[in-house]
Every structure is written in C-alpha cells, then in structure tokens.
C-alpha cells in the first residue's frame, strides 16, 4: 500500500517525525537557554557586586590619601607662613626666609617616595628635591595646568619617573601661599597608602550580600592572605597545607576575569563547582571577588532535563518503526536510480528504470528514462561538436603562434595592458631597449618608467586610448631600467573581447633617439647658418653699405657746390642707401639677435619687449636679473626664440593688454617666464599647436623643463627653467659654445 501512497502523504508522516524531533530539540534548546540565562544572571550579579566592592575600596583609599596629603600640605603652609612672618618682623630677609622654608619642606618625606614641591602661578619650579628642575617651567604637563588653574585642592594623575617602564597612579594636595606666589603640593604614589585603609570599615558591606544559599564575596591581597572571608579571614592560602592554592595563583596571574573551579569549605563533605568573578586594585595589589556555587542555581534544571530525556526516548521508540518503513519505500527506488546514474558515469546510457508505482517515485522513474534518452542524444551531438571545437582550437593556436611571432619579431617595443593598466605581455624589443624582463613586470603597472615631467601628457594619452581613440606618433620620454631617458614616439589603441567590452590596450613605443639627434643636428646647423648669414650681414654688408653711403654723401656735397641738377637724385640715392643699412641691420638682428653670451640675452629680451609694444600697442615689459650670465650662446639663442614665440602667441591669440617677460636666477636654476593677462587656453581646446611644440622642442634640446599653465579668463604663463651650468644637448651631455666663427665674433 505504501507504493500507492502519494509522496505528500509520505512527507506528512515525515513531518510528524520531524515534529516529534522538534519538540525534543526545542525542549533541549529551552533547557540550554534557561541554563545559560541563569548563568548569565549569576555572572552579572557577581560582576556588579565585585564592581561595587572595588569602588568602595577605592573610595575609602582615596579619602584616606586625600585627608593625609591635605594635613601635610596645610601643615607646611603654616611653616611657610611662619618664615614669612619672620620677614615681616625684620628678623629674616625674604631670600633667607624662602631658603629656610624650602629646606624644611625638602627635609620631609611622604610614604616611601613622596615629597613636597612648590611652583609659582606660571609653572616655574621654586622648590623641588631635584635641583636640576629649579627654575624650569613645567606648565606643559596637564596636571600642572590644572594646578595653575585651581591652586587649592586634590588631584589624581599618572606619572612615570625616568628609568621606570610604566606610569603609576599618583596623588597630590595643594595649597596656595599668595605673598610668595607659591603653590605648595604634597604628592606621593597612591599604592604607598595601603596601610591607611582599614578593612573593618567595609568588611560588613563586603560579607553582607549572599548569592544563592552559600555564595559570598571575599578580598585577598597579593601575598595570598585572605583579608575578608566568612570563614577563612586572616589565612594565607599559599602557606596553608590543607587548602588548594592553584586557583588563587591563577587569579593572581590574570588579575581580573571569571574562573570556575571546585572548592570545599571547612565543614563540607565534598567539593562543589564554584564561579568567581574577580577584579584587581593595582594600587594595593588586592583582588576583590564575588563567588557562588553553581549547583544551588541549577537544581530546578535537573528535573526539567530528566523529563525532556524521558519524553525524547518514548517518542523515539514509537516513531522509529514508522520512519524505517517510510524511508525504505523511498530509498529503495532511489538506490536503483543511483545505480543507473553510476552506469551513466562510465558511459552506459542503456539502463532504464521500471516504474512500479504511481506516486512521485514512479513519475521520477519515467522522467529518468526520458532524461537518459536525451543524454544519449546529447552525447552523440557533443562528440560531433567537440570534433569541430578541436579543429577551431587548433586554428586558433596556429593564429596565436603567428601573432606572437609577429610581436616578437617587431623592432619596436610593444606592450599589452589589461583594462586596469596591468602588463599582460611585452615583446623582446621592449626588454632590449628598456631593460625590464617580462617576468618581473607581468601583472604590474609600468608607472616607474614614466618621468615625472611627462605624466601630464601620459595621462592625456591614457584617457584618449580608454575613450576609444587611436593615438599615433605622440612624442614623449621614458626611463630605462638604469634610469636613462629615451625619447619615444607612442602609438596605441584598445581592443575588445567577444562581448564587445574593453579587454585591454596595445601600446607601441618607437625609439626616436637617433631621429631626435638628427633633428637636433639639423636645427643646430640651421641656427648656425642663420647666425652666419646674420653675422655676414652685420659685419660685411652693413659696413660696405656704410662706405657707399659715405661716398654718396661726398658726391652730394660736390654736386651742391657745382649746383648740379643731379643733386636731388644723388640725395635720394644716399637716403635709399641709409634705408638699406637699416634693413640689413634689422635682418642681422632677426637672424642673429645679438651675441647672447654674457648680458646679451637681457638686451635681446628687452628688444623683444620694446618692439612688441611699438608694433602691437600692447603693454609689454621686460624684467631681467643683471646677475644672470649666459656662457653658452646656443642655450641663450633657444631661450630667446622661446620667449619670442611665447610673446607672439600672446599677441595673436590671448587678447591680452599686458605681457611680462621675466628672467631671473634662483639658486642653481635660471628661470624664464612669459606671462600675459589674456583669456587663457580653453580647457577643451587643442593645446599642442606647432608653436607650443617648437617651444617644447627647443627646451628639450638645451635640457630645460618646459611648463605652460593657463586658467581660462586669467591668462597664461610659459615657464622654462634649467640649471645655470646645464648642457644644451641631452645627447652629447656637454655645452656647445658656438662655431669658431661665432667665437671669433663674440671676442670682438
């Protein structure tokens, strides 16, 4: 009949069993909860009583200490007043009176290490056992500041003397003698006053509370002597042979807490488990404890426990046969089903279940048979798919091998980052140029090979790449492993996974050091040719034209004497020659502004300011430090062109009405600034124009740092600074002081 019963009926029977078990478990749980509640209440009561006794003892001790120190302080106040009266009667001079009073105060001791000291209203020590402290101001200490504020009264504080490992509780009572502005303090350590505490004052209060029928409180000192106890008062447990002392030693070691141990009082037949809550008074090395016997609180629980056990046994005896029968009706078919599943595991899908009932077990057998049919069909399809997958994986491995071969054969360093910027791969070219191996950088960021001055442009590149843009050939610099700087050109883009999400980025760093050197050489050659042409105009053509002008002037005078009709034509020729001289000089200054060594740079920058103000009608001033001396003509030339380009940009684009050119030397560095009060560079504008790139490139040639700061609406500052002795060429590492022709012209 069980085979015909639906599973819900079987579950109903099972619920009955669970209900019986739940009753038993619930009863046991109630028993444990009640027991824990009783234990917690007992522990809380013991703990509260221990705390009350502890506070009572501390209060009694504090009152004893306060009264004793007050008596000492007031007695010494009378002594000081006596010496003061002697000065008022003319028998002692004030200085002698203070010395004698201090001598009397220092001759006294309080306890073992207490003493008397005095200080004035601002915290200067006037009397102290340690002469080194006399005259010093100790107002930095918190308790001293409280003394200065109150002047009279009792203070408790912690103090650690030199050589001690920890601070100890200390107390003082102070009085104030206004004529001498002395705050007289009697101080001592509080643990030295344990002899002043009379346990008889609070013995009754300690023994009066009872916990259960025979629980009590007691007090023990650090030597093992029982100070307060209902039966063992005055006994030293460490010396008594018939009493166990190991639990007392445990309490002495732990100082505070809870302990449960067996204890047999005198007159009792057996030891009983006892709970003790104890705490420590460090000032007197006393342990205050409250105790109670557990069996006095657990008696009602024994009856409850016996009833629960009996009920559980009876329920188990009744339910066991029913549970066994119901379990067999479910587990036997399931065992067969598990056996069939085991055959499936080894690849045999031919086994099928025989449905012997119409309940859920029978339906499960039907579903299993359908499942086996589907699994067998899926297996055949899966084998076909796996064959195709193997072919695809082989093609992918071959493609990956080709891709990796291309990456490893590439001459430029290539780095692949994950979406958060961690290295997942870089090719051998990266190791060859920068020195790091893939093993030591894998899974890490490469922030350490970016120079600090290149982080701004690097962050722009990172933002551009992560936003989906492709960057191409952006110049910057990077460190090698040995901290050498390499000029590179960076290109990069992101790549996506098969779901279209960001999977990482690919960055190509091309070493442009060689091409940078060629560019530097081309620029230096251009500068030298320009200077040579300018020098020729200045030293050859201009003097030649001046000579012609002189001859023309003589010709004009001769024609004037002869009253020739050609005199106006001759005068016009002389005027044209004078204009040609001015143009030649202007061209010479443009091609070679001046010889910029020594103070020539200041003259050239001043000339920029003068010409700008004359041509653009914009106020432009130059402020130069006369102590700036340029020993390298090439460095001075580049600084000149950077300043000129910055001024031209301010005139054309900034809409400024004031421009300042500043040249100064601070410490080891020469600083050049061009500041305007124009509209600034908008945040979304492209601040990498050809003019800015040329200025930055010129700064890099002479080894200078180029910075440009701009706030929309408040102006722009172009700042270039370099060491005063810095070489102008980062490639050669030394200054180029010009061509032989330039040196010869400079010597003139």
Q: Tens digits of per-residue pLDDT, 224-267?
A: 888 888 888 888 877 777 777 778 888 888 888 988 888 877 67
Q: What is the pLDDT of residue 672?
A: 92
Greatest pairwise CA separation for the chain in angstroms = 161
215 and 253 share a domain? Answer: yes
In order of 29, 286, 698, 726, the CA distances from 706 in angstroms are 78, 74, 9, 14
CA 179 to chain centre: 56
496 and 525 share a domain? Answer: no
Q: Is the dihedral of CA 375, 378, 384, 389 positive or negative?
A: negative
Letter string b/e over residues 82-95, b meaning 16 or more CB atoms within 10 A of that residue's CB: ebbebbeeeebeee
In order of 298, 545, 563, 583, 588, the CA distances from 550 in angstroms are 133, 9, 20, 17, 21
CA 621 to chain centre: 46
CA torsion, ordered 565, 571, 573, 577, to nearest 10 deg: 170
Cα gap 350→343, rounded to integer Å: 9
Q: What is the pLDDT of residue 19?
A: 64
In terms of residue numbers, what domain contains 499?
410-511
723 and 650 share a domain? Answer: yes
Q: Tens digits of per-residue pLDDT, 71-115?
A: 999 999 999 999 999 999 988 899 999 999 999 999 888 877 788
Cα gap 107→117, rounded to integer Å: 11
516 and 490 share a domain? Answer: no
686 and 561 share a domain? Answer: no
Q: Provide DSSP, 468-503.
A: T--EEEEEEEEE-TTS-EEEEEEEEEEEE-TTSSEE
Please say which residue of 592, 613, 644 terminates a domain.
592
490 and 525 share a domain? Answer: no
Residue 369 and residue 354 in contact, taking contact as beta carbons nearer than 8 Å: no
Please say which residue of 572, 592, 612 terminates a domain.
592
CATH of the domain at 265: 3.30.450.20
The angle at the Cα of 737, spanning 733 to 742, to the nearest 5 degrees, equals 155
Q: What is the pLDDT of residue 125?
A: 93
Cα gap 128→143, rounded to integer Å: 16
Instruction: Give all strands of the β-sheet with 423-426 in edge-to-edge order.
Output: 423-426, 414-417, 502-511, 485-496, 471-479
Q: What is the pLDDT of residue 742?
A: 38
668 and 537 share a domain? Answer: no
Best CA proximity match to 611, nearest among 572, 651, 581: 651
Residue spans of the chain under pLDDT 50: 8, 594-598, 686-687, 726-748
601 and 745 share a domain? Answer: yes
712 and 643 share a domain? Answer: yes
Q: Provide DSSP, 444-457.
A: S--GGGS-GGGHHH
Residue 251 and residue 287 in contact, taking contact as beta carbons nearer than 8 Å: yes
Please say which residue of 269, 293, 317 terminates a domain.
293
* Residues composing the chain: 748
Q: What is the pLDDT of residue 15?
A: 56
67 falls within a domain: no
538 falls within a domain: yes
**Does the model's pTM come out above 0.75?**
no
677 and 689 share a domain? Answer: yes
Cα gap 402→395, rounded to integer Å: 11
**Percentage helix, strand, coil for the chain under 3-state DSSP, each rounded to 5:** 55, 20, 25
Count of domains for the chain: 4
Q: Provide DSSP, 635-686.
A: HHHHHHHHHHHHHHHIIIII--SEEEEEEEEETTEEEEEEEE-S----TTS-
Q: What is the pLDDT of residue 392?
A: 79
Residue 509 and residue 490 in contact, taking contact as beta carbons nearer than 8 Å: yes
Cα gap 120→136, rounded to integer Å: 11
Cα gap 277→258, rounded to integer Å: 5
539 and 625 share a domain? Answer: no
Burial bucket for residue 149 (CB in 10 Å: 0-12, 13-18, 19+): exposed
């Amino acid at each position: 009949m069980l085979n015909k019963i639906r599973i819900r009926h079987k579950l109903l029977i099972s619920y009955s069993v669970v209900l019986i078990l739940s009753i038993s478990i619930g009863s046991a749980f109630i028993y444990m909860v009640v027991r824990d509640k009783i234990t917690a209440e007992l522990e809380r009561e013991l703990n509260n009583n221990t705390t009350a006794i502890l506070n009572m003892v501390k209060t009694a001790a504090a009152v004893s200490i306060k009264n004793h120190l007050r008596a000492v302080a007031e007695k010494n106040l009378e002594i000081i007043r006596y010496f003061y009266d002697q000065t008022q009667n003319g028998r002692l001079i004030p200085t002698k009176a203070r010395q004698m009073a201090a001598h009397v105060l220092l001759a006294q001791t309080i306890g073992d290490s207490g003493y008397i000291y005095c200080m004035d209203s601002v915290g200067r020590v006037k009397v102290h056992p340690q002469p080194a402290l006399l005259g010093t101001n100790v107002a930095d200490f918190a308790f001293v500041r409280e003394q200065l504020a109150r002047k009279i009264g009792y203070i408790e504080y912690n103090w650690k003397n030199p050589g001690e490992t920890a601070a100890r509780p200390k107390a003082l009572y102070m009085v104030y003698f206004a004529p001498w502005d002395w705050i007289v303090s009697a101080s001592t350590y509080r643990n030295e006053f344990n002899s002043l505490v009379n346990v008889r004052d609070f013995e009754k209060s300690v023994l009066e509370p009872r916990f259960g029928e025979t629980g009590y409180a007691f007090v023990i000192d650090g030597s093992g002597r029982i100070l307060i106890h209902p039966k063992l008062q005055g006994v030293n447990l460490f010396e008594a042979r018939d009493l166990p002392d190991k639990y007392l030693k445990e309490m002495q070691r732990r100082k505070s807490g809870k302990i449960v141990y067996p204890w047999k009082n005198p007159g009792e037949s057996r030891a009983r488990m006892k709970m003790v809550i104890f705490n420590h008074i460090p000032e007197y090395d006393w342990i205050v404890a409250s105790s109670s016997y557990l069996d006095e609180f657990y008696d009602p629980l024994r009856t409850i426990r016996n009833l629960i056990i009996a009920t559980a046994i009876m329920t188990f005896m009744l339910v066991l046969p029913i549970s066994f029968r119901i379990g067999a009706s479910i587990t036997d078919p399931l065992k067969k089903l598990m056996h069939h599943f085991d055959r499936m595991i080894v690849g045999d899908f031919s086994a099928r279940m025989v449905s012997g009932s119409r309940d859920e077990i029978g339906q499960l057998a039907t579903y299993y048979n359908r499942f086996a049919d589907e699994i067998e069909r899926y297996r055949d399809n899966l084998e076909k798919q796996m064959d195709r997958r193997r072919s695809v994986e082989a093609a992918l491995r071959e493609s990956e091998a080709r891709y990796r071969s291309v990456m490893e054969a590439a001459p430029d360093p290539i780095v692949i980052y994950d979406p958060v910027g961690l290295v997942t791969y870089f090719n051998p070219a990266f190791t060859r140029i920068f020195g790091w191996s893939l093993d030591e950088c894998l899974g890490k960021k490469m922030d350490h090979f970016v120079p600090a001055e290149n982080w701004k442009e690097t962050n722009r590149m990172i933002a551009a790449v992560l936003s989906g843009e492709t960057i191409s050939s952006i110049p910057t610099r990077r460190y090698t492993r040995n901290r050498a700087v390499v000029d590179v050109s960076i290109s990069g883009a992101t790549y996506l996974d098969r779901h279209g999400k960001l999977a990482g980025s690919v960055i190509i760093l091309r070493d442009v050091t060689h091409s940078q050197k060629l560019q530097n050489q081309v620029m230096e050659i251009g500068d030298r040719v320009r200077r040579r042409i300018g020098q020729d105009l200045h030293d050859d053509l201009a003097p030649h034209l001046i000579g012609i002008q002189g001859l023309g002037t003589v010709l004009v005078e001769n024609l004037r004497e002869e009253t020739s009709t050609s005199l106006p034509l001759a005068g016009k020729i002389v005027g044209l020659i004078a204009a040609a001289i001015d143009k030649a000089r202007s061209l010479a200054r443009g091609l070679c502004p001046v010889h910029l060594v020594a103070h020539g740079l200041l003259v050239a920058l001043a000339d920029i300011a003068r010409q700008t103000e004359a041509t653009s009608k914009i106020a432009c001033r130059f402020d130069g430090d006369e102590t700036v001396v340029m020993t390298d003509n090439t460095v001075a030339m580049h600084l000149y062109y950077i300043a000129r380009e910055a001024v031209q940009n301010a005139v054309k684009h900034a809409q400024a009405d004031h421009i300042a050119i500043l040249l100064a030397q601070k410490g080891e560095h020469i600083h050049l600034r061009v500041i305007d009060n124009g509209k600034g560079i908008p945040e979304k504008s492209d601040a990498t124009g050809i003019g800015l790139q040329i200025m930055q490139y010129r700064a890099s040639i002479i080894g200078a740092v180029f910075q440009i700061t701009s706030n929309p609406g408040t102006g722009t500052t172009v700042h270039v600074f370099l060491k005063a002795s810095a070489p102008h060429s980062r490639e050669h590492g030394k200054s180029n002081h010009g061509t032989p022709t330039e040196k010869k012209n400079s010597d003139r």
